Copies of this chain bind each other. A is one copy, B any other.
């Protein structure tokens, strides 16, 4: 079957000036696009990914793998690729084809490993903007993202206000809480204390720090699910060899993840999450951080999300309202916790379908 999207590798010769002050490049980014850019070049939607996803957002790819947001994006779906030109970008430092820690550091001739520069949400946004330049898109109909992807969408609205009409940020937060940081620190320790990690230089050691990565993912997974959904799905049920089913389930999730994800990318993306805090540049004032924003906003959160709780979305909504911006906000009563943003709750998808229909009318998609 023909893939729904068109995958391409874009090479960027000019270095990217990173937020840390370092300059990085040349580099390559994997990009997948869906649908057609209309003549007015007004129907482009950028979809930003979270920790473990990629540019492959919808349909099957050449390997037969379904896109990570396929339930939302595609022909006739809430984000309709028959009307919109949808762009997925694998972020710099990730491990699905874009330049990352597993690629060669030209200064040393060996893989970057843990020496890959610190990359921030704002750097991804700058890199995504260059992708749009390359694709001939000056102004986006919308930027859409959930969780860490939502942070990118918010960052677009603050940093490149003239280049988007709508920002749609789902299950996100204006920064990590102390508890979020704490979980990340535990995951980081599990990875870096795995002797197969070799300080991030495991590529030339014929080893992979899979044990550490597995623990990190198991832990992450707990925070993606609500207490209630875990209870109703697994409770204290036992499976094979009398182990609790939740134990086998978590181990399975950890094994699967450790089999395909790169440990350095994990640490790098987690660090970007830790660092995201647009209010910090403005003395902790989120309202001032959003002052440059000009687009319309839709935010949604899920009642049982304890990773990025509704209260965190409300902080954002308040800051946007303080700036007199146009904001819609939905707090969706869903049992699934943070993971809900990837599921197809009908109220949630109905909300996005309605918003994209409105955007289509506005931009003539």
Chain A interface (Cβ < 8 Å from any Cβ of B): 175-179, 181-183, 185-186, 189-190, 193-195, 211-212, 214-215, 218-219, 222, 227, 230-231, 233-236, 244, 246-247, 250-251, 254, 274, 277, 280, 306
Contacts and interface: CB of A to CB of B under 8 A. Distances in A.
Contacts of A186: 215, 218-219, 222, 250
B222 A179 contact: yes
Contacts of A193: 194, 211-212, 214-215
Given A178-B244, A190-B190, A193-B214, 11 more contacts: A177-B227, A178-B236, A179-B222, A179-B231, A182-B222, A183-B222, A185-B218, A185-B251, A186-B222, A193-B211, A195-B195
A178 B215 contact: no
A341 B197 CA distance: 39
A166 B176 CA distance: 45
A185 B236 contact: no
A218 B254 CA distance: 19
Contacts of A230: 177-179, 182
A169 B244 CA distance: 26
Contacts of A215: 186, 189-190, 193, 215
A199 B167 CA distance: 51
Nearest to A183: B222
A178 B274 CA distance: 28
A196 to B, nearest CB: 9
A77 to B, nearest CB: 32
> When A and B form their complex, which 9 residue pairs have the shortest distance between CB atoms, in order from nearest?
A193-B211, A178-B230, A185-B247, A178-B234, A186-B218, A179-B227, A178-B246, A178-B231, A186-B219
> What number of copies of this chain does the assembly contain?
2
A181 B244 contact: yes
A177 B186 CA distance: 21
Interface centre among A211, A219, A230, A233 (most CB of B within 10 A): A219
A306 B235 CA distance: 16
A176 B234 CA distance: 12
5 contacts: A181-B244, A182-B246, A185-B251, A189-B251, A236-B277
A138 B362 CA distance: 82
A212 B230 CA distance: 25
A12 to B, nearest CB: 29
B233 A178 contact: yes
Contacts of A233: 178
A361 to B, nearest CB: 41
A16 to B, nearest CB: 22
A330 B176 CA distance: 33
B211 A175 contact: no
Contacts of A254: 189
Given A193-B215, A215-B193, A181 B236 contact: yes
A231 B173 CA distance: 14
Contacts of A219: 186, 219
Contacts of A194: 193
Contacts of A280: 236
A179 B224 CA distance: 11
Contacts of A234: 178, 181
Contacts of A183: 222
Contacts of A185: 218, 244, 246-247, 250-251
